[in-house]
């Protein structure tokens, strides 16, 4: 295996959940460009199909599927179908998340349930289902999506941050329990990325600029700048990496404060 091919995922069966937009869409396309057979899954079929069409247009293989990770029945149905068609799943990337921006004292139980059910329980459901397939078929790579909010929090993001921090420990638990099955489980932790989830921030010029200036690189990330590190974690180049968290945040969690002292 050459030092170039270890970064490729040729003919790997890659299930990308959340492939209809944002980081999930960029990751599905990047995996296709890296040789994977991509199953583009999303709660919205039209969005998933658009991503699959983009991958096929570039000469790679992809199909679209509907998966709602809030529903075990939806997950089980699609996983069974994938197994019938391909016999295995080599890669899982799970990106769906929701954020209700409210201060904690005003959070309702319904809002709490909504965020926890998708971000944490949904990620658990899809990881558990795919991990079983991987365990039975010789191994694989699972990537869950956390955030800089797993470490740093601002007003209005307490519940979202709690789910993203919990995902890290969940992934570590999976990594430890699945290591003997040759299943690697890692976490990607993006900074601020131009996606539909962050659209409310982009619509406020002051807020958008403040976030851009907060990181060491002083700009927002593009989705593909998160996608390629994910592809790395999926590849044989990362064969000794499991239970890890890769922060792709432009130095957000490295820099201290918003003022550069006159040294």
pLDDT at 100: 95
Could you report the per-residue pLDDT of 226-244, keeping only the tens digit for each? 999 999 999 999 999 999 9
What are the tokens at 256?
A: 């201290």
Dist CA 74 CA 187 (whole Å): 24
Of 217, 234, 228, 249, the residue nearest 183 (C-alpha):
234
The position carrying tokens 């956390």 is: 146
pLDDT at 200: 81
The average pLDDT across 78-87 equals 96
The average pLDDT across 93-104 equals 96
Could you report the per-residue pLDDT of 162-174, keeping only the tens digit for each? 999 999 999 999 9
Which homologous superfamily does the CATH classification assign to the domain defined by 5-195+224-247? NAD(P)-binding Rossmann-like Domain (3.40.50.720)
pTM comes to 0.94
Question: Distance of CA 78 to CAs 40, 93, 102, 117, Å?
Answer: 11, 15, 34, 19
Q: In which band, very low, low, confident or very high, does the pLDDT at 199 lie, cut at 50, 70 and 90? A: confident
User: In the chain, which ranges are continuous DSSP H helix?
Assistant: 22-33, 45-57, 72-86, 109-116, 123-137, 158-178, 199-202, 205-214, 223-234
Could you report the per-residue pLDDT of 121-133, keeping only the tens digit for each? 999 999 999 999 9
The average pLDDT across 74-96 equals 97
Dist CA 64 CA 78 (whole Å): 11
Per the CB < 8 A criterion, the answer to whether 233 and 175 are in contact is no
pLDDT at 230: 98
Sheet with 183-190, strands from edge to edge, namely 61-66, 37-42, 13-17, 91-94, 140-145, 183-190, 245-248
pLDDT at 180: 98
Better-scored residue on pLDDT, 203 or 142: 142
Per the CB < 8 A criterion, the answer to whether 235 and 201 are in contact is no
CB 8: neighbour CB atoms within 10 A? 19
Is the pLDDT confidence value at 259 over 70?
A: no
Residue among 107, 160, 211, 240 flagged as catalytic: 160
Q: What does the domain layout of the chain look like in residue ranges?
A: 5-195+224-247
Sign, CA torsion 74/227/250/203: negative
Is the pLDDT confidence value at 258 over 70?
A: no
Residue length of the chain: 263
Q: Judging by beta carbons within 10 Å of its beta carbon (0-12, 13-18, 19+), is residue 73 exposed, middle or buried?
A: exposed
The distance from CA 13 to its chain's CA centroid, rounded to whole angstroms, is 17
Residue 160 is among the residues annotated as catalytic for this protein = yes
């Amino acid at each position: 295996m050459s030092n170039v091919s270890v970064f490729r995922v040729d003919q790997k069966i890659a299930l990308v959940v959340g492939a209809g937009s944002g980081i999930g869409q960029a990751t599905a396309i990047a995996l296709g460009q890296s040789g994977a057979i991509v199953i583009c899954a999303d709660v919205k079929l039209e969005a998933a199909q658009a991503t699959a069409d983009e991958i096929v247009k570039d000469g790679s293989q992809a199909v679209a599927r509907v998966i709602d990770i809030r529903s075990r029945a939806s997950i089980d149905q699609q996983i069974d179908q994938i197994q019938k068609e391909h016999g295995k799943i080599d890669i899982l990337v799970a990106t769906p998340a929701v954020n209700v921006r409210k201060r904690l004292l005003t959070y309702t139980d319904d809002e709490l349930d909504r965020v926890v059910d998708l971000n944490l329980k949904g990620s658990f459901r899809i990881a558990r289902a795919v991990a079983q397939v991987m365990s039975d078929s010789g191994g694989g790579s699972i990537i869950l999506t956390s955030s800089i909010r797993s470490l740093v929090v601002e007003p209005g993001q307490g519940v979202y941050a709690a789910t993203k921090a919990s995902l890290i420990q969940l992934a570590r638990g999976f990594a430890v329990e699945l290591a003997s099955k040759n299943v690697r489980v890692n976490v990607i932790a993006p900074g601020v990325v131009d996606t539909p989830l962050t659209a409310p921030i982009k619509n406020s010029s002051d807020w958008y600029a403040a976030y851009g200036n907060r990181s060491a690189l002083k700009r927002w990330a593009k989705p593909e700048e998160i996608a390629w590190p994910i592809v790395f974690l999926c590849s044989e180049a990362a064969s000794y990496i499991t239970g890890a968290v890769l922060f792709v945040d432009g130095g957000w969690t490295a820099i201290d404060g918003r003022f550069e002292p006159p040294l």
